[in-house]
Structure 1
Amino acid sequence: MGDSTSVMGHWVNHSYAPASDGGVMESLNPLDDSVFAKVAEGTPEDIDKAVQAAHEAFGSYKDSSTNEREAWLCKAAELLEQRREEFIRLLMEEGGSTRKKATFETNKSISFIRAAVGMVRHVSGKTLPSDYPGRISMTWRSPRGVVAVITPFNVPLIKASRLCANALATGCTVVLLPSEEHPVISLKFAELLKDAGFPAGTINVVTGNGYNIGDSLTAHPLVKAVSFTGSTVVGKHIQKLCAEHNKHVTLELGGKNPLVIMNDANLQKAVEGAVRGIFMHQGQACVSSSRVYVHRDIYPKFVEIYAKVVSGLGMGDLDDPETIIGPIISDRQRQRVKRHIEDARDKGATIAAGGNWEGNRCAATVLLDVTSDMAAFREETFGPVVSVYPFDDFDDVMREANDTSYGLSAAIYTSDIELAMKYAKGIEAGMVHINSPSITDEAHVPFGGVGDSGFGREGTEADLEAFTELKWVTIQA
């Protein structure tokens, strides 16, 4: 965009509206911290207006026909495909995505909307046997009402497309609170849904700092379900609020995901999986493989190849398809990444690759000899930093892999299917991938984790339950 004078307002009832107090905040291009856009900085009053609009729209939208919702979702996918380049550029210029990542995210978002079309006719119940003669016993699903969707900076279009489309497919309406570091793309996505035919008030977006206005949204009495993606600390706070108000909540939080490479693994594929598993979007992904465990028999060879490949990862123009590493989103996050690297170096870790910076970009970094007293050992770095550990015994590596409060995604490379299944059963994670990277997702799968990685699951089937209430009905003949 690059216009530092105009201000984008909140999106409420199919039109832009300024903040109630006139507040404005800046969205920065993380490549050089220049002002990408100015948007309204929301207040609790703005949140209330958006929720009220969504609640009013729900009164009629819940009774919209399956044909209508299918048509609107199909049109939304079609429009996103037509406007693909616009959204790719937004991901690059507002969020620091490389073209490769931005293209992947946009294409994935199109598939998520198309998958939501199939949900429309699966908002259904079933007949049940009854203890009483002549009684017809049945269940049906009804949309919960207003859904609060809170999205992160790293995959804002993926999360908005999946969660908003799934909620709309069930007959719910939405208030979306995007990350303050990547708000414009959510406003443009809401505009796209208007153009697709969704009625006014069904999709609303309030921009602002979640620290200041998030509680006004999650605790609002008219919000009936909350879907949050973000940090574990904030997620636990939201979970407490939802518990106090008896709301359904889905949390997709952080990860410290293990990748295990056995001595019988295909080394080339394992290296490729370890590269993609951590360095996509410069490590800013909850499902990144930030811990890599390699059998000692192949550890020296793996490190040699891995460090060489990682050292060659492109840090050029974001438009270049060969560029893999883009900028870290904000100064606060850059300081976290720097602290983890410097702390590891000061305490004796070996830097096999990277460790240096070019502007706001951290080179892909491989740490060896990481010990438990280092921040990178347990904390989520959320940057292009990976720790590689040798191991001798499968049982030992299982204990090490499970030695974390997180439990989102895990992966293993091996030719032994029996061992792979033993790993899949024993690892404490919500998702396990055999001979493929931990950074994997599809529209219909139950996406989510355990422990500090989340609560509940996302996906077409999971969101049918998250966004609807199950009602039991009987008819006595």
Structure 2
Amino acid sequence: MNQYQELNKSYINGVWVDGQESTQQNMVNPYNNDVLAKVNIASFDQLNEAFEGAKEAQSSWGQDAELRKKVMTNALSYFKENKEALIEMLTLESGSTQVKANLELDLTIGLMEESIKMVDEIGKFEEKPSIIPNKVNENYRLPKGVISSIAPFNFPLYLSMRTIAPALALGNTVVHKADIQCGLISGSAIAKAYEEAGIPSGVFQSILTTPEIIGDGMFNHKDANLVSFTGSTPVGRQIGKVAGEQLKEVALELGGNGPFCVLQDADIDQAVNAAIFGKHLHQGQICMAINRIIVHEDVYDAFAEKFVAKAKELKYGDPRDPDVVVGPLINEKQVERAQDIINKAKEAGFDMLLEGERIGNILTPTVIGNVDNDSEVAQSELFSPVALITKASSDSEVIEKANATQYGLSSSIFSNDEEKAREYALELAFGMTHINDQPVNDEPTALFGGMRQSGIGRFGSPYVIDEFTEGKWISVQKEFRDYPF
């Protein structure tokens, strides 16, 4: 048994506690439906207790840079020392393949290393010139306060820590709610790391609960100063509406419909290699994953043929097998949603270049060609190993079709003309565009975030510092002023 299967409790004010609700949640392995653990769901009263404890603990935590650095360094060591158990839990609970689980943990460790550098941002100041004689202006960064962190199921460890690590480094306290489907790796494992690291009571709270129990509690609680959410655009709109009424700040990373643009002069073999990875990593359950492949008509046939041939070769099955590329979707509902999209594509008359097979919660790769870019199928976020290929008559039409979506998270362009690709990249209404690469990229120091309906705010260092701190201006008058009255 993995060590984290025994941590089936919420972590509130430094104590592991059972949820007070009568409801119990089975934590299930999506590959074989084995029950990994049973969790008692935390109540609304326990959520209040977590926020109250976080508010009480924030001031002393925010004022002690030495303690913050010590705790964060210890937590980083914990992640490195328990790497194998963390990777196994990612596989067991989220269906991550070995490639994806290792990638996720490496990203998490890199993020934690970068976050430690942020500790000293609190308390130091930047001096600015003044137009008033003998005055000195000082710009400070102060902790935001209590940050409400809500994480998804797809990259459960990394997308939790992307908020938690910099928030704690910058002197905030955190109330964190994992997606209950991945509550062990996304909540309990993180709480254990910080507990072992010596974090004070109340600074980090992990609550295992569901929206049905707490409603809007994570984003309308009076003690939450900022809401950091990664998930669907409809939920993000609801968070924005509720938080906006309270003038509460938000950092939202929402849905995506990432285009993979193949221009006329692209290296087709390399484009296919990149597209296979960017479409099938974690079964396509990534907001940055390729959603639409838009190909210049002159190279469409060659691309489609090679893409299908390579997709047929992808090994599927038990994600514990290091050779497996396609593991299970997170649950039966996601499989049925993917099958519904495939059926709609058939009804629309699109080309079924490769039809996948359902095996439990596994859906083997599906490739659909000549897809109408304006169709319901193309405008849906797929979150599955279903690839859509669309034809364009020119390079400019490739870009035009790429932009024809409400989303604007990540995108990519393949071309042998780097300058042309860069010009097109600036035209793409997406927060991130990758030239001659696929769109699933993240780095600790990169400017990460979306445009349009894909979110508000930016992650990555130093950009996240602005999100998770308050600006404070202090001026010092060195010599007394003469006033006009």
Contact 1:341 1:355 (8 Å CA) reproduced: no
Instruction: Provide the secondary structure at the position in 2 that maps to 1:53.
Output: helix
Aligned match of 2:75: 76
SS of alignment partner, residue 181 of structure 2? coil
Cα offset, 1:263, TM superposition: 2.5
Residue 7 of structure 1 deviates from its aligned partner by 7.8
Classify 1:458/1:191 alpha carbon distance in 2 versus 1 (closer, same or farther; 3 Å): same
2:127 is equivalent to residue 127 of structure 1: yes
Q: Which residue of 2 is the match for residue 17 of structure 1? A: 17
CA contact (8 A) 2:2 2:89 kept: no
Match of 1:248 in 2: 249
Change (3 A) 1:316 1:6: closer
* Contact 1:411-1:434 at 8 Å conserved across structures: yes
Structure 1 CA distance for aligned equivalents of residues 448 and 377 of structure 2? 25
| CA apart distance, 1:368 | 0.6
3-state SS of 2:182 partner: coil
Q: Which moved more, 1:166-175 or 1:449-458?
A: 449-458
Other structure's SS at 1:460 match: coil
Q: 1 CA distance for matches of 2:238 and 2:459? A: 19
CA-to-partner distance for each residue in 1:171-205, whole Å, 9 max, x for gaps? 00100011121111121111111112222211111
Structure 1 equivalent of residue 217 of structure 2:
216
Which AA in structure 1 matches 2:141? R
- Stretches of structure 1 that go unaligned for 5 or more consecutive residues are none
Give yes or no for contact 1:7–1:24 (8 Å, CA) kept in 2: no
Map of 1:333 onto structure 2: 334
1:104 to 2:94 alignment: no
Alignment of structure 1 residues 371-386 onto 2, 5 Å: 371=372, 374-386=375-387
Instruction: Sort the Cα spacing of 1:321 and 1:2 in 2 relative to 1 into closer, same or farther, 3 A.
Output: closer
Distance 1:131 1:331 in 2: 64
Distance 1:312 1:441 in 2: 27
- Cα distance change of structure 1 residues 476 and 372 upon mapping to structure 2, 3 Å threshold: closer
Partners of 1:84 and 1:359 in 2: CA distance: 29
446 and 210 in structure 1: CA distance in 2 versus 1, 3 angstrom threshold: farther
1:392-432, Cα deviation, whole Å (9 max, x unpaired)? 21221221111100000110011112211121110000001
| Counterpart Cα distance in 2 of 1:22 and 1:59 | 35
Residue 94 of structure 1 is matched in structure 2 by 93
For residues 228 and 218 of structure 1, what CA distance do their matches in structure 2 show? 9
- Whether the aligned pair in 2 keeps the contact of 1:25 and 1:208 (CA below 8 Å) is no
- Name the TM-score, length of structure 2 as normaliser: 0.95
* CA displacement 1:211-259 (0-9 Å, x = unmatched): 4425112111111011000000001100111111111100001101101
Q: Say which SS state the counterpart of residue 26 (structure 1) adopts.
A: strand
Contact 1:14 1:191 in 2 (8 A): no
CA distance in structure 2 between the aligned counterparts of 1:310 and 1:272, rounded to whole angstroms = 10
Change (3 A) 1:462 1:312: same
* Range 26-35 or range 269-278, more displaced: 26-35
Point out where structure 2 has 5 or more consecutive residues left out of the alignment: 479-485
Q: Is the 8 A contact 1:11 1:190 kept in 2?
A: yes
User: CA contact under 8 A between 1:109 and 1:157: conserved in structure 2?
Assistant: yes
Q: Distance in 2 between matches of 1:208 and 1:104?
A: 27
Task: Give the distance between the partners of 1:84 and 1:38, measured in 2 at CA.
Answer: 24
Q: Which amino acid aligns with 1:179?
A: D
Q: 1:211 to 1:278 in 2, by over 3 A?
A: farther
Quick check: 2:253–2:455 contact (8 Å CA) kept in 1? yes
The one-letter amino acid of 1:433's match is H
Asked whether the 8 Å contact 1:139–1:473 carries over to 2, the reply is yes
Per the TM alignment, residue 339 of structure 1 is displaced from its structure 2 partner at its CA by: 0.4
What is the identity, as a one-letter code, of the residue corresponding to 1:237? Q
Q: CA deviation at 1:20?
A: 2.7
Letter in 2 for 1:145: G
Q: CA deviation at 1:372?
A: 5.3
Map Cα deviations across residues 248-275 of structure 1 (whole Å, 9 max, x no partner): 1000011011011122222221111101
Q: Is 2:462 the counterpart of 1:461?
A: yes
Paired residues of 2:7 and 2:184 also in contact (CA < 8 A): no
Q: Separation in 1 of the partners of 2:6 and 2:100?
A: 29
Q: Tell me if the contact between 1:58 and 1:173 (Cα under 8 Å) persists in the aligned partners.
A: yes
> TM-score, structure 1 length as denominator?
0.96
Q: 1:427 to 1:288 in 2, by over 3 A?
A: same
**Structure 1 residues 33-65: Cα deviation after superposition (integer angstroms, max 9, x where no partner):** 232211131222111011111111112111112
CA contact (8 A) 1:94 1:182 kept: yes
1:432–1:211 distance in 2 versus 1, CA, 3 Å? farther
Structural RMSD (CA): 1.7
Q: Which amino acid aligns with 2:240?
A: Q
- In structure 2, the residue matched to 1:160 is 160
In 2, are the aligned partners of 1:7 and 1:40 still within 8 Å (CA)?
A: no
Match of 1:116 in 2: 115
Aligned to 1:433: 434
Q: After the TM superposition, which residues 53-452 of structure 1 pair with which residues of structure 2 at under 5 Å, given as runs?
A: 53-65=53-65, 67-123=66-122, 124-185=124-185, 186-371=187-372, 374-452=375-453
**SS, match of residue 228 in structure 2:** strand
Q: Kindly indicate whether the alpha-carbon contact (under 8 Å) linking 1:444 and 1:460 is maintained by their aligned counterparts in 2.
A: yes
